A and B are shown apart, each in its own frame.
Chain A
């Protein structure tokens, strides 16, 4: 999932104008919400246990973003900035003891029918493979087994399409650390999902 930076920048500029005017006009901000809500919610949900808490923190993330919009100088960096807000809120929540950085329930789509993973599309992943409910469940379980910081990196990189630097900025770590977390996560997931990713197709 890529992002159109020019479009995002324009939306952020419009939202800033509405915010400064204190008009409560949420049209541009609503567009930003629609664009990023699933990624933010999935990221938060991957870090805290309860779905209701994740929804509350998602709401708080966007309200905080609205309040802080006038101080955002680089409109094109909105996504990383937004994830940083979410990460800080999660950190505060964990520090307060109201949330734990471990999950046992599923953090991804499909379980409650809210949204199914997009089938096909990706080269090398057969449609019938992604359409398998059993496989989706396996992916969810495998992701849940990762340490929280690896899970966060996986969600941001693979589901939101964020680059290493952007993730690093959002998480307050170095890009090399993000790379390392992604590599360790990839290794662990490859083992967990071996029955789906091993095969005769070894052409490179």
Chain B
């Protein structure tokens, strides 16, 4: 490998600022005396200048309108409706896209169902009236939703509270 070959192999790296120390000094010393390598370095630098002077492309005007609509209608952390003609990427039924609270709520819901199943006895046939009450009574559902986070944080203590709530439903029902 000639000296010029060694330098040429490193000119692009030098041009993007990637060389340090002795190799950098060697490239600089060589290009001061070798006109061919200097011309090659200049061509690489002009390529960079050409790219620097190339402007990026503007996003379509309606992009910001869509963002505003999605932000304004649906504050962060909530699911939003479609705002464009094609299915939005954000709404794909894709597990990786769900926020952390959704997993917490889903887990809490599973725990709640298991607790209800235990309280109703084997196969859930003991007190069908209670299941009907859980599904039909909106106030009860709201109470249950309120329990979800507590169930997650402290299932044992909430279990007691749930038992009291169910007893109340039975008395009222």
Contacts and interface: CB of A to CB of B under 8 A. Distances in A.
A54 to B, nearest CB: 8
B72 to A, nearest CB: 4
A117 B18 contact: no
Contacts, number: 186
Given A45-B57, A60-B88, A179 B13 contact: yes
Contact of B43 (A30, A184, A198): A198
Contact of B90 (A26, A63, A109): A63
B82 to A, nearest CB: 11
Interface residues of A, number: 78
Contacts of A154: 51
Contacts of B77: 67
Contacts of A158: 48, 51-52, 54
B38 A204 contact: yes
Given A57-B89, A60-B88, A186-B12, A115 B53 contact: no
Contacts of B38: 202, 204
Contact of A41 (B57, B67, B92): B57
With most chain B CB atoms within 10 A of its CB, the pick from A29, A93, A118, A159 is A159
Interface stretch (B58-66, B121-129, B135-143, B147-155): B58-66
Interface in A23-72: 24, 26, 29-30, 33, 37-43, 45, 51-52, 55-60, 62-64, 66-67, 69-70
A140 to B, nearest CB: 8
Nearest to A98: B89
A193 B42 contact: no
Interface of A: 19, 22, 24, 26, 29-30, 33, 37-43, 45, 51-52, 55-60, 62-64, 66-67, 69-70, 89, 92-93, 96, 107-109, 114-125, 129-130, 136, 139, 154-155, 158-160, 176, 179-180, 182-184, 186-187, 189-190, 193-194, 196-199, 201-204
Q: Nearest 5 A-B pairs (CB), nearest first?
A: A42-B56, A41-B59, A158-B51, A22-B75, A24-B72
